[in-house]
Amino acid sequence: MVDQPTDLRTVIGTVMGEVLVRGPLAPDEDFFEAGGDSLRAIEVLQRLGVHEEVGERLGTTEMQALLLEGIFDNASPSGLSSFVTANA
């Protein structure tokens, strides 16, 4: 696999874990299976949008809209991370 965005995956897993008040999600763990709902999904995206490492990239209006549409179907850290890479 070329350019697998490991860092982004880790960041997403950590943020999802913070929102659920637990440890980071494993790369293939589904956010909604782990207890996420729509409000928590919005919060994940908001936190990613202001994150010190990835916020610049994920905080734009276009990217936030894209993420919003994508997170319900790509709900794992690796799924969402690949979705970002594919749509960047």
Task: Name which of 3 and 73 has its Cβ closer to another protein.
Answer: 73
Cβ of residue 22: shortest distance to another protein, in angstroms? 5
Residue type, 33: E
Looking at residues 27 to 86 of the shown chain, list those that interact with another protein (rule: CB under 8 A).
Answer: 32, 34-40, 42, 61-62, 64-65, 68-70, 72-73
| 29: exposed, middle or buried (Cβ count in 10 Å: 0-12, 13-18, 19+) | middle
6-14, 16-24, 50-58 -> range binding another protein (CB under 8 A): 16-24
The CA distance from 27 to 59, in Å, is 22
